[in-house]
């Protein structure tokens, strides 16, 4: 899956699109259905507070698994980046060799052209130097053909080295995307574990109501599986449709022309588990390395003016140009 970096304007267009709005509404419905079915299963399986605490432990294990994956991918990406840098320098050297060969070939062609003209002139004037010039021309043509062979060979090798460079760069980018997704998954599942543990503590304290209608244990499990199937299929479809990173509850989009920061759009409201209160479908930004450990809000006015090319400036200068043109026409009349 390819993740598409976006500018602030492109992100705003995505979030406001009917396609994304409809998808996010369906996501909320499916997430609520999963939450309900899981709660029913907890009520059937025993003490809901204890089961919640067990679930929190499972989420923490999942976060740890993604952290290990993130660390491994980071180390791997450094090795790939080192290999790419070596290949980049190698490709540059071969490019320089090819261009040097091309320059020598151009000089040889120019010399052949010049000697050809001299030979034609000497032949017409029946100069005594005609034979000598002809011999020089033959040597020059021979050298030109040799240089053409060398230039062709060096260009082929230069192209091969450049293709290898591109291939290594694609691997570097893939490892960066994998690293980003692993770190975001690590951070998001750690957040879910905190939330789940807080809910377990609330159940232990009697702050949450667990008096709901109960079905059979088997029916509850089947209902959870079906709800989760629909929920995760819906999420999988969005990753392809919107070219983003999506774990479960947050949409992540790399910021265009910025390797450090990532847009983050919550699909849920969250008031307690982060350094700021999160509102659904609002825009925030995070550092790649810190993920959800620290979140920065993005003001709407700031979001509208973050791009270098503000459309309002373009409209202003366009209006000025039209007004100037009209004044010039009036004066001419």
Q: What is the value of pTM for the model shown?
A: 0.69
Q: Which two tokens stand for residue 264?
A: 């983050």
Question: Distance between CA atoms of 35 and 25, rounded to whole angstroms?
Answer: 15
- Return the higher-pLDDT residue of 76 and 205: 76
Give me the pLDDT at residue 302, please: 57
Which tens digit of pLDDT belongs to each residue from 49-85? 888 888 899 999 999 999 999 999 988 988 999 999 9
Parallel/antiparallel/unpaired status of strands 261-266 and 245-246: unpaired
Burial (0-12, 13-18, 19+ Cβ within 10 Å), 80: buried
Read off the pLDDT of each residue in 270-296 and give the average, rounded to a whole number: 91
Which tens digit of pLDDT belongs to each residue from 34-43? 988 888 877 7
Tell me how far the alpha carbon of residue 1 is from its chain's centroid: 10
Q: Which two tokens stand for residue 228?
A: 């989760």
Give me the pLDDT at residue 37, please: 87
Question: Distance between CA atoms of 148 and 142, rounded to whole angstroms?
Answer: 10
């Amino acid at each position: 899956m390819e993740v598409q970096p976006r500018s602030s304007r492109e992100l705003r267009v995505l979030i406001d699109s009917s396609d994304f709005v409809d998808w996010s509404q369906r996501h909320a419905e499916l997430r609520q259905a999963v939450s309900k079915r899981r709660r029913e299963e907890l009520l059937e399986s025993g003490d809901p507070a204890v089961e919640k605490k067990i679930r929190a432990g499972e989420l923490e294990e999942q976060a740890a698994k993604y952290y290990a994956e993130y660390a491994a991918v980071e180390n791997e990406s450094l090795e790939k980046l080192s290999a790419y840098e070596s290949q980049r320098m190698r490709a540059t050297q071969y490019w320089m060799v090819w261009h040097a060969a091309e320059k020598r070939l151009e000089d040889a062609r120019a010399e052949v052209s010049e000697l050809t003209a001299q030979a034609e002139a000497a032949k017409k004037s029946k100069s005594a130097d005609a034979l000598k010039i002809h011999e020089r021309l033959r040597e020059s043509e021979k050298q030109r053909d040799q240089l053409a062979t060398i230039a062709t060979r060096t260009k082929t090798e230069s192209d091969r080295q450049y293709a290898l460079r591109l291939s290594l760069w694609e691997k570097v980018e893939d490892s960066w995307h994998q690293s980003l997704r692993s770190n975001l998954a690590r951070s998001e599942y750690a957040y879910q574990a905190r939330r789940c543990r807080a809910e377990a503590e609330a159940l232990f304290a009697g702050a949450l109501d667990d008096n709901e209608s109960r079905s059979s244990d088997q029916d509850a499990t089947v209902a959870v599986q079906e709800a989760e199937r629909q929920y995760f299929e819906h999420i999988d479809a969005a990753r392809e449709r919107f070219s983003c990173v999506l774990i479960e509850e947050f949409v992540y989009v790399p910021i265009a022309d910025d390797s450090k920061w990532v847009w983050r759009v919550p699909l849920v409201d969250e008031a307690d588990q982060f350094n700021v209160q999160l509102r659904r479908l609002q825009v925030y930004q995070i550092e790649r390395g810190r993920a959800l450990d620290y979140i920065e809000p993005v003001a709407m006015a700031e979001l509208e003016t973050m791009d270098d090319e503000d459309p309002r400036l373009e409209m202003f200068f366009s209006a000025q140009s039209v007004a100037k043109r009209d004044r010039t026409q009036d004066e001419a009349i």
